[in-house]
Amino acid sequence: MTGLIGQKLGMTQVFDSSGRLVAVTVLRVGPCTVVQVKTEASDGYAAVQVGFGEQKPSRVSKAYRGHCQRAGERVFRVLREFSVAAEETCTAGSEVSVGEVFRAGEFVDVTGTSKGRGFAGVMKRHGFGGFPGSHGTHEYFRHGGSIGNRSFPGRVFKGKRMAGHYGAERVTVQNLLVVAVYPEENVMLVRGAVPGPDGGTVLVRKAVKKQEVSRVQLA
């Protein structure tokens, strides 16, 4: 499998083998239960749908509840698909743990929902510099300035950076190094920050741009 569903627990710091202090994010990844297996013959592609977390059966639709219960009696809070090799064989109801998919020293891509910050101005949302604090500036310190010309084009271009809803969107951080994996606790440590609040759901996939670094010696 190329990934698993997990949960962000928070950040901490650890020492590597050379004594350097490394900031890491603690992720609880899996165990994920296989809910549905998709094959080339039946669906046109090979993938595995897995479930993570638990949800009260009364809070989901009857169709969703029946779909989850193909793999047992649990109703999962999150369902996601991950691609697999065509020759891999998985069965509905089996569990996949973090130690079966990831190991220390490789890179992963982590996807989460960023923290929502409500309606924000251009300085907070886009990093605008604002206007001078003196030299005649009057009640226009944090504005965005001009948004276009008069006769041509006579309109505002699409995509103009303005104030608006900031955050609460899907964000992927690529090439995070796996510092340590603890299969018995379903926990892994990745170097750097991960989008979203503590307790937020994340998708951890094998990196598409980097594979592994053998030169990194981890504690």
40-49: long-range contacts, CB 8 A cutoff, minimum separation 24: 40/86, 45/83, 46/83, 46/84, 46/85, 46/86, 46/88, 47/81, 47/82, 47/83, 47/84, 48/1, 48/81, 48/82, 48/84, 48/90, 49/79, 49/80, 49/81
**Please, are residues 6 and 31 in contact by the beta-carbon 8 Å criterion?**
no
Indicate the fold that domain 3-117+165-206 takes in CATH: Elongation Factor Tu (Ef-tu); domain 3 (2.40.30)
Are the C-beta atoms of 97 and 31 separated by less than 8 Å?
Answer: yes
Give the pLDDT score at 86: 66
pTM recorded for the entire structure = 0.82
Dig out the tokens for 121 from the structure. Answer: 């101005």
Reduced to 3 DSSP states, what percent helix, strand and coil does the chain have, rounded to the nearest 5?
15, 40, 50
| CA separation, residue 39 to residues 44, 83, 96, 206 (Å) | 6, 10, 18, 21
Domain boundaries, the chain: 3-117+165-206, 123-162
Half-sphere exposure in the Cβ direction for 1 (13 Å, CA)? 29
Q: And the tokens for 159?
A: 């995509």
**pLDDT tens, N- to C-terminus, the chain (219 residues):** 889 999 999 999 999 888 899 999 999 998 999 998 888 888 888 889 999 988 999 999 999 999 998 888 889 999 999 988 766 677 888 888 998 889 988 999 999 999 999 999 999 999 999 999 999 999 999 999 999 988 888 999 999 999 999 999 999 999 999 999 999 999 999 999 999 999 999 999 999 987 665 544 444
